[in-house]
Amino acid sequence: MTGISHVPIPFRIIALVQERNRLFEYPLERLAGVIREVGFRCEMCGKCCARAQNGHVFLLDRDVKETQSIDPTAIEPALEPEFCDHTGTFYVSGYTLRTKGDAAGSCWFLEDGRCRIYDRRVSVCRIYPYILHREPDETGTVDWRHTAGFGEHGVYHQEIPDEECLVLAREIKEYENAILTREISFLEFVQDYFAKHRLGHVQQVYDERMRRFSRGEPIIVMVYHDGHLEEHTCRQPGTSLPCRP
């Protein structure tokens, strides 16, 4: 796991707020134009429904509630905890969809190549493969990215009605705003929580506990959800009961 940032929390919060402001300023019509130009249509191939293709599926609070109503065992703490205190307790900003433990990391809800909760699928699955965030390209230049896994699944250059493009563009901006707002809230919460309990991130403890985790030892993970922390005991995937509250 490599999710640790060594930038102090206040500076990370400022950077995220600035990024959210840039997102607000991004023209909705421009994003709708990208959607129209890409013209993606899902073929139900199931390729995107695995961590080998897209990493973990981060859940918004509303997704967690909906997913738990379908199957309470379908969620687990997100990968790559961001903090670890001196006691060896980890802190992560939310939940992700559980996978089946196969080589591809197939989604818990994928059966025979089809999503068994398609009509109730989570937020990021509804907007996929469209995204709207900035990241560096191969030259290190930071710019907006609009699609994920381009050309690797689905069909492209299909005709998408203008109104559908605008609706999807709104959903994408709403999702990206929710992700940034969630991370800002998590960092603010951790900053206050650590100050109140006289805790702090200890990289040496983080590294040592992760080495033990890789050898099969359990770890305690505090998951930030709905404004509070929820405790889980986690083990490596492939072991019995990889995570439990």
pLDDT the model gives residue 5: 67
**Residue in the block written with tokens 């640790």:** 4
In a domain, 3, yes or no: no
Say yes or no to pLDDT of 236 above 90: no
User: What CA–CA distance (Å, rounded) separates 185 from 224?
Assistant: 9
User: What CA–CA distance (Å, rounded) separates 41 from 227?
Assistant: 36
Mean pLDDT of the region 194-211: 96
- pTM of this prediction? 0.91
The neighbour count for residue 168, using CB atoms within 10 Å, is 19
In a domain, 16, yes or no: yes
DSSP state of 151: T
In a domain, 196, yes or no: yes
Say yes or no to pLDDT of 143 above 90: yes
Q: Of 210, 181, 171, 182, nearest to 79 (Cα)? A: 210
pLDDT-based confidence at residue 141 (cuts at 50, 70, 90) = very high
In a domain, 82, yes or no: yes
Mean pLDDT of the region 199-205: 96
In a domain, 75, yes or no: yes
**DSSP strand pairing (83-84 vs 90-92):** antiparallel
b/e per residue 211-230 (b: at least 16 CB within 10 A)? eebeeeebbebbbbbeeebe
In a domain, 19, yes or no: yes
119: containing domain: 9-244
* Alpha helix (H) residue ranges in 39-116: 51-54, 61-70
* Domain count across the chain: 1
Model pLDDT for residues 54-66, shown as the tens digit of each residue: 777 899 999 999 9
Q: Point out which residues pair with 142 in neighbouring strands.
A: 136
Q: Which is it for the CA torsion 119, 122, 126, 128, positive or negative?
A: negative
In a domain, 1, yes or no: no
